[in-house]
Amino acid sequence: MIKRSNEPFLWFLFSAGGVVAAFLMPVLLFLHGLAFPLGWLKPSGYEKTLALVKHPMTRLLLFVVCSLPLFHWAHRFRFTLYDGLQIKHLNEVISFFCYGGAIAGTALAGYLLWNIA
């Protein structure tokens, strides 16, 4: 019996998280870090923003924006420790804490998005 590896799935999460971090995060940072605070664009009011966030597609997008970069970080950090620092003997422990942290962050994001008032 051949043991199947979960490595392709983890590489998928890594690449998807990299795409989200590269394309969506800069736009969000520009809007909420520069454009709205400096008055270049007029932000919508609290009621409109809350109505937008309550929409299921917006919640799904926010969930993706929160969770996939966590898995990108976990994979990159794991291989930085594994290959960069040459601590191959702790591979299982490193994997557990890296991916466990990403799963915990994803669960927290899901919980918070599910329970928006």
Q: What is the pTM of this model?
A: 0.83
Reply yes or no on whether the pLDDT at 117 is more than 70.
no
DSSP secondary structure, 20-39, as one string: HHHHTHHHHHHIIIIITTTT
Reported as a single tens digit per residue, the pLDDT across 60-114 is: 999 999 999 999 999 999 989 888 888 888 888 999 999 999 999 999 999 999 9
| Mean pLDDT, residues 51-65 | 93
**How far is residue 99's CA from residue 83's CA, in Å, rounded to a whole number?**
17
